[in-house]
Amino acid sequence: MPDDRYSNRPRRENLLAFSPPDIGQEEIDEVVDSLRSGWITTGPKTARFERALAEYAGSEQALALNSATAGLFLCLKASGIGPGDEVITTPYTFAATVNVILHAGATPVLADVRREDFNIDPVRIDQAVTERTKAVIPVHFAGRSCDMDAIGAIAKKHDLAVIEDAAHAIGTEYKGRRIGGISRFTVFSFHAVKNVTTAEGGAITTNDGETADRLRAMALHGMDKDAWKRFSPGGRWQYDIVTPGYKSNMMDIQAALGIHQLRRLEANLVKRRNIADRYHKGLSGIPQITLPRDPEDGRHCWHLFPVLIDFAKLKIDRDRFIELLLQENISTNVHYLPVHLFSYYRQHLGYKPGDFPIAEDLSDREITLPLYTRLLPDDVDDVIAAVRRIIFDNLK
């Protein structure tokens, strides 16, 4: 299916990065202000970021942390989950989602995904519930929401905690509601490649004020007051240890980035939407490629642009496809190798290839194309041209 707009386009001269952060002067100035203020750990800017995040997500409380991994773990602990309990989640996720279940002493139970959106299948969740099941962790893959009505109904029927892994989903909406205000717990990531970045970092949003107070103590050694509350004007030095906690707090240096990243998020989501639209226009109608789509019942935040390639119709496999893209000076990634195929989970949890056939099939054919706010239209067209050229040059 040649197209002169792309087939005659020359290869890029410089390497196109996969997903660099978009850091503006306002973030830089805010970080410098923190450094000069003398308050660089958890303090007033972290509190400011938490208030802004709670307002954006539509939740009563937000707790900023040093990672989404810490957030998932703390939510499990706050839900009383430990040895002997089971937690259902998806095989189509980063390993952290499963690791935190193990760290809590519980057993991860995986449920296969839906082919149309890579997200965990509620039918499979219901089938996986046992008397030991205590929670479910749905993962909103690539920025598209899981079916939260169905998951919520299953959780209510079986009295399960719902902890949303929204590492990809800041700005995602489900049936008119932003992810972050639907379940008891939602956990966001602000890693360097995310739609909002604090370099490293994460957050929990919740509408449960009492549990939020407990989470704050758990996140900082079990202390009932952080340093800002003790040493800011009017504070008192005394504190209590109310639980054997952890060290998961966000620093003001990180929050200084997040304040302005979050303020620009809606404008950046428009940019991401436009890039996704440009990919769709340039790659639609090619039988060998399947493109991600918008949901009918919400808003995709387009954190990732995962495409599926039908390698059975090509003379090359995925590794060679990625190599050829790199020769075109296009960086790509793969999201993900299903977690049950990694050696640790196979050896210690007894998983094997073939256990989750939909996840495995999607993973075998998936390549993630660059999508970030600094991409220019010419950059996107370079990616489109490279993908088209490789497909048409390697048809069987």
| Number of H-type helices and E-type strands within the chain | 15, 13
Q: Are 19 and 330 in contact (CB under 8 A)?
A: no
Which strands make up the sheet holding 133-137, listed edge to edge?
Answer: 61-65, 202-206, 185-189, 161-166, 133-137, 86-89, 107-110
* Nearest to 203, CA basis, from 174, 241, 170, 246: 170
Q: Which helix (H) or strand (E) is 157 found in, with range?
A: helix 148-158
Residues 6+ apart with CB under 8 A from 206: 59, 60, 61, 63, 184, 185, 186, 212, 215
CB neighbour class for 169 (10 Å; exposed up to 12, middle 13-18, buried from 19)? buried
Tell me 142's DSSP state.
G
The Cβ of residue 144 has, within 10 Å, a number of other Cβ atoms equal to 26
Token pair in block for residue 179 = 């992810």
Token pair in block for residue 288 = 């060998």
Token pair in block for residue 92 = 């189509």
Q: Which helix (H) or strand (E) is 110 found in, with range?
A: strand 107-110
Q: In the beta sheet, which residues pair with residue 65?
A: 202, 249
* Nearest to 261, CA basis, from 197, 189, 187: 197
Say which of 45, 194, 229, 396 is annotated catalytic.
Answer: 194
For 316, the 3-state DSSP assignment is: coil
Active site annotation includes 281:
no
CB neighbour class for 266 (10 Å; exposed up to 12, middle 13-18, buried from 19)? exposed
Residue 80 to residues 77, 86, 90, 271, Cα–Cα distance (Å): 5, 12, 21, 41
Distance CA 30, CA 359 (A): 42
Q: Are 206 and 184 in contact (CB under 8 A)?
A: yes
Catalytic residues: 194
